[in-house]
A = this chain, B = another copy of it.
């Protein structure tokens, strides 16, 4: 039935005045994302979104995802400013990248927040992060569900998942079919773990979250670094028709994600050292005695998003996509080799 209302807070023994203020705040955050497609004042049970006019053969691209156990670390540092908001942004940016891979522009988003007990303030901080990332992506936060699940979640823990719907013209779907050996592979830096590998990272670094990296950043902050949206970097390349394939480097790392975007008979060779592997990955490997192969299987190792462009388009692509790096090439074969 959507966001939890006053009556449910009352039964849960929550301070009603505080809950009302929080619900107002959430409502304002949600409304701040509304794009022209949203039909306001309708949709007591579902959100209504009118498709933009003028589409020829619209294909909807949809994806559901969660932020994994990044939530557990976020809860421990929830007293720090921006941490819960950051988890909300992580979720949205993750989903934006997942539909971007097919060339889709985001239309709307729906979130799902569940916990042992209703915590209006924490929920408001999560939703406020979700809303801010939606605004940046030009996407409406069309709906959401807040669930109280006593007996299901551990005390104080929560889960956050979401669903994105984007749109792309049928003939603009990026499907990898134009990829050929010799094409160039560009990478966009992740800056951290994004939202994958947190169960392993927590096991490896337990007790060391408050240590500092060499630049003074606390380990917990490096681990919670935002899952970046690659929409603004990639959009200019899409508009110029330069992109032959894309992969979002999530669970499964480079070997688990890049091959899915390539046609049969193509693999990629990445040049070690052509991008920076953030320090936090070396720390996880050392503290957890994790072999390099497993590190690459679990983590993005510093590349959040990978694009394939024609060899002759590299210069133009690098000029258009801020932050992109030439990291390798497409080869005959299969899989991902880091050499």
Interface residues of A (CB under 8 A from B): 1-2, 5, 7-8, 39, 42-51, 57-66, 68-69, 71-72, 97-99, 101-102, 104, 107-108, 110-112, 114, 142-145, 147-154, 157-159, 161-166, 170, 173, 175, 196, 199, 202, 247-248, 250-252, 256-257, 260-261, 297
Q: Report the separation of the CA atoms of residues A297 and B202 in the bound assembly, to the nearest whole angstrom.
A: 42
Q: Report the separation of the CA atoms of residues A107 and B202 in the bound assembly, to the nearest whole angstrom.
A: 40
Q: Report the separation of the CA atoms of residues A287 and B110 in the bound assembly, to the nearest whole angstrom.
A: 38
Shortest beta-carbon distance from A117 to chain B in Å: 11
Residues of B within 8 Å of A202, CB to CB, are: 151
Q: Report the separation of the CA atoms of residues A69 and B153 in the bound assembly, to the nearest whole angstrom.
A: 10
Interface contact A101-B44, CB-CB below 8 Å: yes
Residues of B within 8 Å of A7, CB to CB, are: 252, 256, 297
| Residue ID in chain B nearest A47 by CB atoms | B62
Q: Report the separation of the CA atoms of residues A119 and B307 in the bound assembly, to the nearest whole angstrom.
A: 34
Interface contact A60-B159, CB-CB below 8 Å: no
Interface contact A44-B251, CB-CB below 8 Å: no
A-B contact pairs, 14 of them (CB 8 A): A7-B256, A45-B260, A46-B104, A49-B60, A51-B58, A64-B145, A69-B152, A71-B149, A72-B152, A151-B202, A153-B154, A153-B157, A159-B159, A163-B163
Interface contact B143-A63, CB-CB below 8 Å: yes
Q: Report the separation of the CA atoms of residues A157 and B248 in the bound assembly, to the nearest whole angstrom.
A: 30
Taking A44-B101, A69-B151, A257-B1 as contacts, is the C-beta distance between A110 and B144 under 8 angstroms? Answer: no
Interface contact B49-A59, CB-CB below 8 Å: yes
Shortest beta-carbon distance from A98 to chain B in Å: 4
Interface contact B199-A148, CB-CB below 8 Å: yes
Partner of A57, one of B50, B69, B101, B157: B50
Q: Which of A145, A149, A173, A256 has the most CB of B within 10 A?
A: A149
Residues of B within 8 Å of A57, CB to CB, are: 50
Residues of B within 8 Å of A196, CB to CB, are: 1
Residues of B within 8 Å of A69, CB to CB, are: 149-152
Interface contact B48-A102, CB-CB below 8 Å: yes
Interface contact B46-A59, CB-CB below 8 Å: no
| Residue ID in chain B nearest A44 by CB atoms | B260
